[in-house]
Amino acid sequence: MDSSLFHITRPSTLKENAPLLIMFHGFGSDENDLFSFASELPEELFIISVRAPYAMQPYGNAWYAIN
* 3-54: pLDDT as tens digits: 689 999 999 999 999 999 999 999 999 999 999 999 999 999 999 999 999 9
Q: 23 lies in a domain?
A: yes
pLDDT over 80 at 1, yes or no: no
Burial of 56 (0-12, 13-18, 19+ CB in 10 A): middle
| CA dihedral (54, 56, 59, 62) positive or negative | negative
Counting every residue written for the chain, the total comes to 67
Name the residue range of residue 35's domain: 7-62
Tell me the residue ranges of DSSP E strands in 12-63. Answer: 20-24, 46-50, 54-55, 61-62
- Confidence category of residue 2, pLDDT binned at 50, 70, 90: low
Q: 2 lies in a domain?
A: no
Number of structural domains found in the chain: 1
pLDDT of residue 23: 98
Q: 44 lies in a domain?
A: yes
Q: Give the residue, 18 or 59, on which the prediction is more confident.
A: 18
Q: 67 lies in a domain?
A: no
Q: 28 lies in a domain?
A: yes
